[in-house]
Structure 1
Amino acid sequence: MNRRSLMALLAGIAATKSRSATPTRMQSALQIIQTQIDNGTLHSAVLHVRRGDRVTQHVFGKAEPDSMFLLGSITKPLAVALPVMILVDRGELKLSDHAVKYLPEFNESARKDITIEQLLTHTSGLPDQLENNNELRSRHAPLSAFVKGAMRTPLLFAPGAQYHYQSMGILLAAEIVERVTKTALPDFLQQHVFTPLGMTRSVLGLGQFKKSDMVPMQTEHAAPEAGGGDPKAREWDWNSDYWRNLGAPWGGAHSSAADVAMFLRLFLHPEGTVLREDAARLMIRDHTPTLSAHRGIGFMVGPVGLGKGCSARAFGHSGSTGTLAWADPATDTSFVLLTSLPKNVSGELILYPVSDAVSSQA
Structure 2
Amino acid sequence: MPQINAERWDAVEKLVDQFCDTDQVPAIALQVMVDETSRCYFKGRQQVGNGSDPLREDAIFLVASITKPIVVLGALKLLEAGELLLGDRVKQFIPEFGCAGKHGVTIRHLMTHTSGLPDMLPNNRELRAANAPLSEFVKQICQLTPDEPPGRMVQYQSAGIAILAEVIQRITGQSCAEFLKQSLFEPLGMRDTSLGVPEEWTTGTDPRIERIAEIRIPEELNIEPHWDWNSPYWKRFSAPWGGLFTTPSDLAKLVKMLQQRGRYRQQQIFSYRTLEEATRNQLCEIPGLSKAARQGKGWGLGWQIVTAANSDYYGDLLSSAAYGHGGATGTVLWIDPLLQASAIILTTQPQEPHGRFLARISNTIVATIEQ
Scaled by the length of structure 2, what TM-score is found? 0.87
Structure 1 stretch 277-286 or stretch 243-252: which is displaced more? 277-286
Deviation digits for residues 191-244 of structure 1 (CA, Å, limit 9, x no counterpart): 1111101111111100132332211111135xx6xxx041xx111000000001
Distance 1:346 1:74, change over 3 A: farther
* Runs of 4+ with deviation above 6 angstroms: none
The answer as to 2:363 corresponding to 1:356 is yes
Corresponding position of 2:18: 35
Distance 1:347 1:53 in 2: 32
The answer as to 2:114 corresponding to 1:123 is yes
Distance 1:312 1:172 in 2: 30
Q: Give how far 1:25 is off.
A: 3.8
> Any unmatched runs of 5+ in structure 1?
1-17
The answer as to 2:284 corresponding to 1:286 is no
Match of 1:76 among 43, 68, 85: 68
Match of 1:133 among 124, 128, 139: 124
Q: Give how far 1:30 is off.
A: 2.1
**C-alpha contact (below 8 Å) 1:126/1:156 kept by paired residues:** yes
Scaled by the length of structure 1, what TM-score is found? 0.89
Corresponding position of 2:302: 298
Corresponding position of 1:245: 236
Structure 1 stretch 254-263 or stretch 209-218: which is displaced more? 209-218
Distance 1:158 1:117, change over 3 A: same
**C-alpha contact (below 8 Å) 1:267/1:281 kept by paired residues:** no
Deviation digits for residues 65-106 of structure 1 (CA, Å, limit 9, x no counterpart): 22110010000011x101110000111101110111101011
SS at match of 2:181: helix
Distance 1:202 1:190 in 2: 8
Corresponding position of 2:349: 341
Distance 1:347 1:97, change over 3 A: farther
Corresponding position of 1:45: 28
Q: Give how far 1:307 is off.
A: 3.2
Distance 1:283 1:248 in 2: 22
**C-alpha contact (below 8 Å) 1:170/1:249 kept by paired residues:** yes
Distance 2:368 2:169 in 1: 42
Q: Which amino acid aligns with 2:274?
A: A
Distance 2:225 2:31 in 1: 31
Alignment of 1:263-274 (within 5 A): 263-269=254-260, 270-271=262-263, 273-274=268-269
Q: Which amino acid aligns with 1:240?
A: S
Distance 1:44 1:194, change over 3 A: same
Distance 1:86 1:314 in 2: 23
SS at match of 1:164: coil
Distance 1:193 1:51 in 2: 24
Corresponding position of 1:5: none
**C-alpha contact (below 8 Å) 2:112/2:299 kept by paired residues:** yes
Corresponding position of 1:275: 270
Q: Which amino acid aligns with 2:119?
A: D
Distance 1:345 1:34 in 2: 21
SS at match of 2:151: coil
Distance 1:75 1:288 in 2: 21
Identity %: 31
**C-alpha contact (below 8 Å) 2:63/2:245 kept by paired residues:** yes
Distance 2:29 2:272 in 1: 30
Corresponding position of 2:51: none
Match of 1:213 among 195, 198, 211: 211
> Any unmatched runs of 5+ in structure 2?
46-54, 203-208, 285-290
Alignment of 1:1-362 (within 5 A): 19-23=2-6, 25-62=8-45, 63-78=55-70, 80-207=71-198, 208-210=200-202, 211-220=209-218, 228-230=221-223, 233-269=224-260, 270-271=262-263, 273-289=268-284, 290=291, 291-292=294-295, 293-303=297-307, 304-305=310-311, 306-345=314-353, 348=356, 350-362=357-369
SS at match of 2:3: coil
SS at match of 1:338: strand
**C-alpha contact (below 8 Å) 2:105/2:150 kept by paired residues:** yes
SS at match of 1:313: coil
Distance 1:361 1:96 in 2: 42
Distance 1:347 1:326 in 2: 19
Measured on the aligned residues, the alpha-carbon RMSD in Å equals 1.6
Give the count of matched residue pairs. Answer: 336
Q: Give how far 1:302 is off.
A: 2.6
SS at match of 2:56: coil
